[in-house]
Amino acid sequence: MNALAQEIAALIAQEGPITLERYMELCLQHPRYGYYLARDPFGAGGDFVTAPEISQMFGELIGLWMTEAFALAGRPRAARLVELGPGRGTLMADALRAARVAPEFLSAIEVDLVETSPRLRERQRQALANAAPKVSWRDSFAEVPRGPLFVVANEFFDALPARHFVRTPQGWRERLIGLDAAGALRFGLAPEIEVALHVEAEEGSIIEVNAAAQRLLTEIAGRVARDGGVMLVIDYGYTETSLGESLQAVAKHAYVDPLESPGEADLTTHVDFAALSRAARAAGAKVFGPTTQGEFLSQLGIARRAETLSRRATPQQRAEIDAALRRLIGTGDAREVMGELFKALAVAHPALPEPPGFGREG
């Protein structure tokens, strides 16, 4: 057992089995051993690669998308550009560089980065050292000042802790993490029946519920509905709420046991975009999408951007641009390409017209 596993085992021995939600919180955000607080997991040398690290085209298109959303919102004189979980700051740096084509946007915004990791904050400061707008760091979205909001969350909601419920002959019971006879971490079930769940399903079925994601989306959508603006969510997930579980742990670009070496692997679940949409509408916001990342980026003109970059590139660079384009918008094996599994969703003020990249209102 590593140090965090020992601490979790001691907690379970004292208080009893814990929920998956609490386990994920400890693994990802423990103040000393938490995955995101103790390391830089991004890039080829880390545990996974996100779209901004694959190509500058991704962040550039997001920046241009935000300038267009700003125009559709009436060009407010003062606004907040917010990123949730900004990683190394790559997306924001690329977005702000592309947004130079809209100087009134850059002059109107202040940037808020919602980040809890001191190590990643330092990487973000380096990436944004020459940024024109003022940049501030926040521990949570609740700290972001009031005003029109332009929010981006790329691969953020998948890392919020989820709960699992398993259908048994007696009813739905929550999946917990306890200890086996040897003292190792093991999955089990709560003895109590979850009476609030009224979903018909076969025995052994699992329901995955991410209440943390829905609460945060409700908070942001409520602010957008009151103060104006839009939120763009890009993540991997599914468009309809359904049975099944998607918990996965990734370390060094490979899947590992989620109970093995807690705090040393990224723990995620697929995003339920239907649940996020319901939460946004309940908070008074308008929803566009979800659409696939491939379709979203294609409508924004990523192929044209790749062609422009290729004109000034060496043969090796052109090959890298082509490979990045395929990975970002390609369909097929989700382990190799992102175009289909990843989705884009916009949450907007009720008066905002349809933003680029989306079809009719969802």
Residue 150, pLDDT > 70, answer yes
Cβ contact 91:58 at 8 Å: yes
Quote the pLDDT of residue 37.
Answer: 79
Residue 166: inside a domain: no
How confident is the model at residue 40, as a pLDDT? 67
User: Which has more pLDDT, 45 or 126?
Assistant: 126
For residue range 158-181, list pLDDT tens digits in order. 999 999 999 999 999 999 999 999
Round to whole Å and give the CA distance between 62 and 48: 21
Res 362: pLDDT: 42
Mean pLDDT of 23-50: 79
> Can you tell me the mean pLDDT for 202-225?
96
Q: Which residues contact 303 (CB under 8 A, 6 or more apart)?
A: 325
Query: Which pLDDT does position 49 carry in this prediction?
Result: 82
CATH, residue 108? 3.40.50.12710
Can you tell me the distance from the alpha carbon of 238 to that of 260, in angstroms, rounded to the nearest whole number? 27
Q: Measured over all CA atoms, what is the biggest interatomic distance in the chain, rounded to whole angstroms?
A: 65
d(CA 176, CA 187): 6
The total number of structural domains that make up the chain: 1
Q: Please indicate, yes or no, if residue 262 is contained in any of the structural domains.
A: yes
User: Who has greater pLDDT, 234 or 29?
Assistant: 234
Tell whether 98 is covered by a domain. yes
- Cα distances from 245 to residues 11, 188, 199, 206, 238, in angstroms, run 25, 15, 15, 6, 12
168 in a domain, yes or no? no
pLDDT score at 38 = 65
87, exposed or middle or buried, with CB in 10 Å at 0-12, 13-18, 19+? buried
Within a domain: 270: yes
Own/partner pairs, 27-32, CB within 8 angstroms, 24+ separation:
27/262, 27/263, 27/265, 27/267, 28/159, 28/161, 28/263, 28/266, 28/267, 29/116, 30/4, 30/263
| Mean pLDDT, residues 36-46 taken together | 65
Give domain status of residue 361, yes or no. no
| Residue 300 structural domain | 34-161+211-348
Q: Considering the domain boundaries, does residue 362 fall inside one?
A: no
- In tens, the pLDDT along 46-92 reads 556 899 999 999 999 999 999 999 999 999 999 999 999 999 999 99
Tell me the pLDDT tens digit for each residue of 88-137: 999 999 999 999 999 999 999 999 999 998 889 999 999 999 988 999 99
Q: Is pLDDT of 208 > 90?
A: yes
Cis peptide, bond prior to residue 191, ω within 30 of zero: no
- Alpha carbon distance 22, 177 (integer Å): 9
Give the model's pLDDT for residue 42: 65
Query: Is 200 inside any structural domain?
Result: no
Query: pLDDT digit string (tens) for 225-264?
Result: 999 999 999 999 999 989 999 999 988 778 899 999 999 9
| pLDDT of amino acid 267 | 93
Residue type for 207, please? I
User: 352 CB contacts (<8 Å, ≥6 apart)?
Assistant: 69, 72, 73, 228, 229, 230, 286
